[in-house]
Structure 1
Amino acid sequence: MNAPLDAITLAAHADATAIMDFSAAMATKMHQAAMKGHAGWDNPTLCSDASLRVLLREAVAKGDPIDVGNYAMMMHTRGIGTAMPEAYTTIVMQNQDMRAALRAVLDEVAPGSTPISIDSSLPRSVIDQVARAADPKSFGA
């Protein structure tokens, strides 16, 4: 057989296998959710396009590619895109501006410090340890 053709055939087989494995994992997860009473994604009255967009982003943040795939499938089936409304983009940009302003203040007050998110869910003891570790005076102690 032709070597380039063999490589193309193998790549196509790997693609098909990966798609089948991923879709099987998606179906399993959808079935498990349905057994827990989660349903209605296909009804815009029960689940809005905007809520699907938020759920997709939350799934990305959590790091589960199967959930991401399922929400993407739901959106694809409805014919909606993943773009967030203009208001969401504005909020994200404002958040980035606030982070830049915080970084500028921290650099002026304590150069080289590492900001810890105000809404951090870390225990106070961990935050205190990080603050002590970031304190330049603690290196000589």
Structure 2
Amino acid sequence: MKIFIPRLSSSTTSRELKRLIDDLLKRRFHFPFTRWPVVGSCEVLQFRDGEGVVEYHGLVSIHPDEAGSWLIDHFREQRLHGQRLTARKFMERRSGGRAKGPRKERRRAHLKIRRVSSSSPTLRGIDQQLGREDA
């Protein structure tokens, strides 16, 4: 199951988001001889529209789906960088069709989405000073 976490702080890294989710999943009751929940991927995405508005959102993949549903139900009151977070099931939108009426395309014009690097700018600067350009 893919889970969408809207309105993250611009300083949030995917490592911090994954740690928050792992800590929350550890609280889930686990039956013996069953699989533990697994975080498949965890990304911070930057959304930028044509008017210069920038937003940061999280996209997390969790297996099995029951663990993802449990996470959404128990994600209330989670905080990261002083911001209260929410979570919901990710809904895949397919562009291309021209729907009319209430189901028409609601995306902002010229929306660009990119994956944010997992390390913070300050850590990248330190790595460059130490001569580790590939970090």
The structure whose RCO (Cα within 8 Å, separation 6+) is larger is 2
* Greater percentage in strand: 2
Q: Which has the larger radius of gyration?
A: 1
Q: Same fold (TM over 0.5)?
A: no
Q: TM-score, normalised by structure 2?
A: 0.23
Q: TM-score, normalised by structure 1?
A: 0.22
* Greater percentage in helix: 1
